[in-house]
Every structure is written in C-alpha cells, then in structure tokens.
Copies of this chain bind each other. A is one copy, B any other.
C-alpha cells in the first residue's frame, strides 16, 4: 500500500480484543497504534503475550489516555456492553471513529445516543458483526422462511462469572452475544426489512442473576415472511442459517465463525424437484466454496480502515449502512426482551 495505515487504539485487554488485534495486524491499511488498560503493566503483559501486536504500540494506563492521543484515528471498544455508551460517546466527542463490539448497546435508546454523538462529530460508528461473507444465492433475496441457530456450551465458570452472564456488564446475555448474530443474519436475508411483530418463544432460561442463557423468537413480516431463531450458552456449538423462498434455499453451517479460516462454504438449491417416484432430489443442492484472502475479521478491519481513511481525506462521508443495519438488529433484540417480559406476547416493531 505504501500509505500510512489507519491508527487504531484499543480500549482494554479483553480476550476478544486479541482476535481483533490480530485482524488489525493482518489488515495492511490499519495498525494497532495504542492500547489502554487499567495499568500500563497490564497493557505490557497483553502485548508480550500477543506477538502479532507491533512492538511500536503505545501503552496507556487508562482508556481516556488512548482517546486523548491526537494521533489515534479510531478506537476499537471490546468493553462490556454496559460500558459502550460511555466510551463510545467520549471517543466520538474526542473526534475518534469507533469500532464497537456487538451488541452495540443495551437497547435502541442507548444505541441512538451513541450514533448521535458520532454523527454530531462527523464520525463513523461500526459494529463488529458485519464481517459476513455475502453469498449471492442466485441473485435474489430470500422470501418465505428463515431459521438461524447460534449456540455454544459454556462451562459452569462462564455461566456464573463471564461478563456475558453479569446483569451489570453484558446484561443481554446469550441474546446480546450469540442472538445478535442470528437476528443480524435474518435481517441480512430479508435485505434489512424490519419485521412487523416479534414473539419470543417459550422456554427462556435465565441464570440466578436474571441474565438470559438461552432463548428464541419468531419474527413475522408484513408480506407474510416468517423467521425463527434460537440462541443459547447451553447447547453444543451450532451456528447455522437456512433461508428458503419460492425458488431457492440457502444453508450455511458456520455463518459466524467458519469451520476453517481460509475458506467457507454454503449450500444452495434452486427450483428443487424430485426424480420420478420422488425418490431423489433433482437438481441436487450445490455446494459453493469461498476462499478467503484474509480472515473475515481482517476483511472487516480493512473495510473499516478504508472508510476511516476516506472520511479523513474528505473523499467519503461518515454516513454508511452499518449503523442502520446494527440499529435494526438492536430493535429486534429489544422487542424479544419486551415479549419475554410480557409473557411471550407478540409485540409490534415500531421504529
């Protein structure tokens, strides 16, 4: 590239930050420029343990210091969801671009305050969950029915002490963590049209602190499309989506984290019928393999850095589709919570 990479500051040394730090280092147009933790020692330890972070990285003993660094172009926020509002707004006020971990916020109202702060300062918000491969299943979006499941079996320690099980940290629990991806994938499949109603599915599991460990919902659109999803910390790793419309079906078994990093695959069927006597499919489903030039996280960082650079140079505007997509995802999750609270009643999605 030869050009100056976008300088990213990271707020905190959460384990999720390692994955994105590596992705930044793999993305030629971005660099891990600064890391802030509760102490410089903690930040130093994190750098020593992760060889992919450049030795030139600046270390700070606070998150504020990263945000205050005038050379930092953008910050990545891997903090618990309950801290997103505070740090994303502060970063925006200090004229930094923001890459937030999902879920973006605890609810759509908080989401809007974050976006307002970013927009007021002419900056960009992105959320990490945009790194979908975008398979073109025959050129048309799916109508009809969509189902997505994202689960993993958390150990007992996680279920009690992980930030995703704490009501004061990632209060949305499994819904905000794995459920975010299900809702987002479903919205992707319908070209981000919001459903008319959301109805939680009976059987939500909470931990002792009242955080959701497992839940699901059905979504209904104005034109009759239906979707269901299930998300859980209590069942073996499963991350699939099936979308079926009048003429075709798409199925992906690993839509969030690919089974292998260098490629991902999906199945499509188009106008499927049967052989004589209905004993075989005709035509058979097709498997499509996408080879990844870079891991998906690095592709996301590359795109984020491209946008940040464009805004910095005046060739791009701050507005983009990502906040719109993330906000719709947040609205769906809000309604799932509301439906659970109302005893599984259907609730209208009003934007």
Tell me the A residues contacting B by CB distance below 8 Å: 18-19, 22, 143-145, 147, 149, 151-153, 197, 199, 201-203, 205, 214, 216, 218, 220, 224-226, 228, 230, 232, 234-238, 240, 242, 244-249, 251, 253-254, 257-261, 267, 269-275, 277-281, 284-285, 295, 297, 344, 346
The residue among A238, A242, A275 with the most chain B CB atoms within 10 A of its own CB is A238
The residues of B that contact A225 with a CB separation of less than 8 Å are: 203
What is the CA–CA distance of A214 and B278 in the complex, to the nearest angstrom? 21
Residues of B within 8 A of A258 (CB): 280
Establish whether residues B235 and A244, one from each chain, have CB atoms under 8 Å apart when the complex forms: yes
Cross-interface CB contact of A201 among B143, B144, B151, B199, cutoff 8 Å: B199
Q: Could you say how many copies of this chain the assembly holds? A: 2
Residue of B with least CB distance to A257: B278
- Cβ–Cβ < 8 Å partners of A202 in chain B: 197, 199, 218, 220, 226, 346
User: Taking CB as reference atom, which chain B residue is nearest A228?
Assistant: B228
Question: Are B199 and A144 within 8 A (Cβ)?
Answer: no
- The one of B18, B247, B285 in contact with A253, judged by C-beta atoms closer than 8 angstroms, is B285
Contact partners of A267 in chain B: CB under 8 A: 253
Shortest C-beta distance, A148 to chain B (Å), equals 9
Task: Name the residue on B nearest A279 (C-beta).
Answer: B261
* Distance between A289 CB and nearest chain B CB, rounded to angstroms: 15
Question: Beyond A143-B235, A144-B232, A147-B147: 9 further Cβ-contacts under 8 Å?
Answer: A145-B214, A149-B244, A199-B344, A234-B246, A235-B245, A251-B253, A253-B285, A261-B280, A279-B295
Which among B19, B235, B271 is the interface contact of A277 at CB below 8 angstroms? Answer: B19
Contacts of A218 in B (CB 8 A): 201-203, 216, 218, 228
